[in-house]
A and B are shown apart, each in its own frame.
Chain A
Amino acid sequence: MHGVCNMLSLKRAVLALITGVAGMSSWAAEPLAVRVVSGEESLFVQQTVTRIDSALRKLGPDVLLEPAPAGGRRLVLTVGARGWRTMADAPSETPLFAIAPPSAALEGGSRKGGMLILDPPFARLLNLAQLAMPKRNNLGLLSSPTLQARLGRYESLANDRGQKLIVEKVEQETEVGAAVERLLPNIGALLAMPDAVTHNATTVQPLLLLTYRAGLPVIGYSESYLRAGAALAVYSTPEQIAQQVAEIVSAYQQGRALPGLVTPKYYSVGVNQPVARSLGLNLPPGEELEVKLRQMRE
C-alpha cells in the first residue's frame, strides 16, 4: 500500500523528465515566472530566501519574480518546512521545487517538481573527521528511530575509512543527555546528522556542554551548529544554496527538467577556532579543510 504513493511519485518524476526533454525546444525561449515561498522560520531560511531572490534577479529578463504577468511558464520555489507545507498539497499544475523541505516531502506530495536536501552525505562527515582529527577514529553518533535504517550503511562507510562508529540510540529528546554521557568514555569525537529528535535547539545544550566538559569535539552539519559550539562543521551557506538554485532555475527556464532530488553542490567547511583551541585541537582554517575534503571520495 505504501508503495502506491511512491510509485505515483516515480511516475511523476519520470513524466517530468520525459515532458521536460520533449518540450525543451518549445519552452526554451519562454520567460519563466518564479514564486518563492517560505514561512516565518529561522534566520537561515530568511537569509536563504533573500539570497535566492537576489540570485534569480541576476538571471536576466527571462526569469521573472512574481508578481509576474499572467500566462507563460511558472515555477514555485519553497524554502524550509513551512514553505513546503503551504504549497505542497495545493492543487496546481505549476511545478514546485523544494529547498530544505521536511521529511514528508520525500514521501511524495501532489505537486510535480523536485527538491534540494541540505543534509551532508554521512561520508562527508566521516571524511572531515578523518581529515581534521586523524587519530580520533572512534566516532560517536546519536541515532533516533528515523536514522536506524541507515546505520548499517553508516557503519560500513566508517569501516571503509578505518573508523569505528559507536552508536547510542535515542527514542526521545529527553534521553539525549544520558546517551551522550554513555558515549563519552568511548569516543574521540561526536558526529551530528540532522535529526529532529537528537539535534534541536533543546538538545544542543546538554550535547555541547557534556562533550565540551569531556574535551570532545562535535562535528556539526550547519553554520548554526558551528556557532552554537561545534568544533567544525560542513554546511552550505545561503549564498551557496542560492547559487545552486539559480543554476537549476536557469536550466529549467532553458528547457531542462527539474532535478528530482539533489544535494548541495556547493558547501563550506567551518572551524570554530575558539572552541577548537579550548579543546586543545589545532585545526587548520576551514578553507584549507574544504579543498582537501573535495578531493576525498564520498
Chain B
Amino acid sequence: MKKMNKKTICWAALLALGVPSAFAAETLSGHDGDQNADFPVVLSASRLKQTATEAPSAVTVIDRTMIEASGARQIADLLRYVPGAVVGYNDGNWPVATLRGMSAVYASGVQVLIDGVSMYSPLWGGMLWSEIPITLDDIERIEVIRGPNAAVFGPNSFTGVINIITREPGAEKGSHLSANIGDSGVADVSYRHAGTFDNGLRYRATLAQRASNGFDTRPDSQRYVFGNLRAEYQIEPTQAVQLSARWGNDQKDLGDYDVRGGSMQPHTIFGRRFDLQLRWTQARSSDDELWVQYYHQQASTQDHVLIDLRDRFPFLPFSFPYNVEIDFATERDGVELQQTTRWNSTLRSVWGLEARRDAVYSPRLMGTEQTQSSTLTRGFGNFEWHFATPWTLHLAAMLERNSLASTDWSSRTALTYEPVTGHVLRVSSSTALRTPTLLEKKANYSFSAQLPAPFGTIVAPIYSATGKVDSESVRSDEIGYAFELPEHKFGGDMRWFVDHYRDLIGQSGLDYVNRDTARAEGGDLTLRWEPRSGTLLRLAAATTRIVSSDDLGHYSVSAPRQTLSLLWDQKIAPQTNFSANFQRVGKMAWLDAGENGRQLPAIDYLTLKLSQTLPMNSATGKLSLVVQNALGRHKEYYAGTSPLTVADRVAFIQYSMSY
C-alpha cells in the first residue's frame, strides 16, 4: 500500500510535467519487464479445435460440457453424440463403435487417435474401446470427422476419424478424486493429480479402476486397472517436449452361460497394455508449428478358451473338452513429423511424414512362432488456399506404402464458400484406403487335438490367409452447409454424402479376399443451441442407406437407416444440474453377429443425470445420480438367443472431489 502511495505521488509530479493525459490519468506499470517476456505458444495449431465452419470435412466436436452431461462411463458411449454413429455392446463390458455402417466388433475402417497417435489394434484393425487407459476426465475433447480423411490422418481413416485429445497438464493443479458406485457391480474409482514443478515441468497423472459385472445374461465382468501420465516441459518459449505414458491391466470374463454352437464357455482373459509417446514441438505462432514424435505401444492378451470339440466335429460320439490358447501380443513403433506453415494471408499448409512398424506374436492366430510384422511409410501434404473472398480451396494428398498392400494414393479436395460470415457451403470429394490387417493378410489360425483311436489327430482350421488380399478403397462425395451464430449461441451443420466402397474385405472359406462393393448414401443434421445461460439443447440426426453386393457380408443392413441423438443439459439451480441424453439407433445387423444378417430391432437409449455441487471449504465436491439405459431392457448386438446379450437399466452414484 505504501508502494502505491509512493507511485501516486510520482504521478502527481509527472502530471505536473505534462505527461500525456490519457496515460497519466490511469496507468502505472507494476511489472518487472514481463511485458517484454517471450511467452510460450500455448494455443498452437495442434491444440486448436476444428470447427464445423472452418473444417473441410464434416466434424463433430464432443467437448467437456457434453462429456460431463453424457453420464457415460465408457469413452465409446460419447460417440452416441455423433450423427450416424452406432455404439453397441458385444457384451456388457465390450463396447463397439462404428461410423457409417461396416459395423463389427473390430470395425477396422475407423482411425482412432489419442493425441495424434493411432490406437487401433495392429492385429484386428479395430478398437478395443474398453481397454483405453484414460478416464473420461482425462479427455479435453473428441473431434470426429464423419467420413474418409486418409489424406491427412493416414490409413484406416476410411469411414471416419475419431481424434481423442487429452487434457493439458498446464490447465490445472491439485488433486481430483472420483468414484462411481451402483448397479451391476459398477465400481469405478480414479485419482488424478496435476501440478507444476519449480523448474516449469507440468504434469498430470491418473490412477484408476473401471469395473462392473456387465450384463446379467452373460459372464462379462471386467476389472480394468490403469494409469497414465502426461508431462510437458517448455525448453524455451518456442520449444517444448511432451511425454505421455499409459498402462492398463485388464481382467475380463468372456463367453456365454448358454453354450451352444460356436459360443464359448465362460472364462477369464487377462490383458496388459503400455503406451508411450514422446513429442518435441517447435511453435512460433498458432499457424507455425513443427513437431516430431516417437511412439511405442505394446499389448498382450491371454485368452484360454475351453471348447467342446463335438461342437466343431459333430461326428464325435462323446463330449470332448479341449483348451484352446488364443494368446497374442502386439507392438507398434513409429516416428512422425508434421509441420504447419502459414505462407501468407491466403495460403496455409500442413505436411508430414510417418514411418511405423506393427508386429504381432501369436503362434495360435498366425500359425508360427515368428513375429509377423508390417511396415508403413507415408507422406502427406494439405493446402488451404483462400484464393478469392469468400472462397477457400482445400487440397490434400497422401502417398502410402504399406508392406501389407499395394502402394497407393489417398486424396481430398474441398471447396468452401462463405457468402455471409458464419455461413459456409462445402463441396468435397475424397478417396481413402483401408489396408488389410495383419490378421487378414497373414492369419493361419487352427487348432489340433490328439483323440483316442480310431479318431487320431484332428485339425480344425479357422483362417488360412493366402496373403493375396489388398486394400479396400472408398470414394466419398459430399455437399454440406455449416453455420455459426455466436451472438445467438446457435450453430449447426448438415450434409448429404455418397460413398462408393470397392474391394471390401470378407472371409471366403479360410481366406480373406477383396470381394464386395457397396454404395452408401445419406445425410445428417446437427443443431446446437444455448437459448439462455445454463441451457444447452442439441440434436443430431442421420439417415443412411447402403446398397451392396452382399456376397461375403450383409453390408446393406450394417448401418441403421436412422440415428437420432438428443441432449438437454439444464442448470436448474446455481449448484444443481440436470441432463437427459437420448439416442435412437434404427434396426440393423452387426456384420459379425451371424444369424444370416437378421436385424436387431431399433434401440432407444436414454441416460439421465442429476448433479449437485457440494460447497466445501477448500475443495469442490459434486454428487450425481446417473441412470443409464433408463428405458429398460433391450437386446444388444445379437438378435438371436446365443449368445444372449441383454442390456438392463444401470443406476449409479457418482461422487467427485477436487482439492
Binding site for B on A (CB under 8 A): 2-3, 5-7, 9-10, 13-14, 17, 41-45, 48, 80-82, 100, 102-104, 106-108, 117-119, 121-123, 135, 144, 146-150, 153-154, 157, 174, 177, 194-196, 199-202, 204-206, 208-210, 212-213, 221-222, 224-225, 227-229, 259-263, 272-275, 277-278, 280-282, 298
Contacts and interface: CB of A to CB of B under 8 A. Distances in A.
Contacts of A45: 36
Given A229-B286, A274-B286, A224 B37 contact: yes
Interface string B12-26: 011011011011111
B369 interface: no
Given A196-B30, A201-B234, 9 more contacts: A14-B17, A43-B237, A102-B33, A118-B35, A119-B31, A196-B34, A199-B31, A227-B286, A280-B51
Given A153-B25, A153-B26, A206-B172, A262 B40 contact: no
Nearest to B8: A149
B42 to A, nearest CB: 4
Contacts of B487: 135
A23 B8 CA distance: 31
Nearest to B43: A229
Interface residues of B, number: 68
Given A206-B171, A228-B39, A263-B23, A3 B9 contact: yes
Contacts of A102: 31-33
30 contacts: A2-B2, A9-B10, A41-B36, A102-B33, A104-B32, A118-B36, A119-B27, A123-B22, A153-B26, A157-B26, A194-B31, A194-B34, A196-B31, A201-B38, A201-B39, A204-B40, A205-B40, A205-B170, A205-B202, A206-B171, A208-B43, A209-B170, A221-B35, A224-B237, A228-B42, A259-B19, A263-B23, A275-B286, A278-B49, A280-B486
Contact of B40 (A41, A43, A228): A228
A222 B36 contact: yes
B26 A122 contact: yes
Contacts of A274: 43, 45, 48, 286-287
B475 to A, nearest CB: 29
Nearest to A108: B10
Contacts of A13: 13-14, 17
A158 to B, nearest CB: 11
Given A196-B34, A208-B42, A272-B286, A261 B27 contact: no
A177 B42 CA distance: 14
Which 4 residue pairs of A and B lie closest in terms of their CB atoms, listed nearest first? A146-B30, A229-B43, A81-B33, A205-B170
A234 B49 CA distance: 25
Contact of B20 (A118, A229, A262): A262
Contacts of B41: 227-229
A262 B14 CA distance: 10
Interface in B320-353: none
Interface of A is mostly: helix
B97 to A, nearest CB: 24
B23 A121 contact: yes
A293 B154 CA distance: 46
Contacts of B3: 146
B484 A280 contact: yes
Contacts of B25: 153
Contacts of A122: 26-27
Contact of B29 (A44, A157, A194, A273): A194
A42 B10 contact: no
A128 B573 CA distance: 35
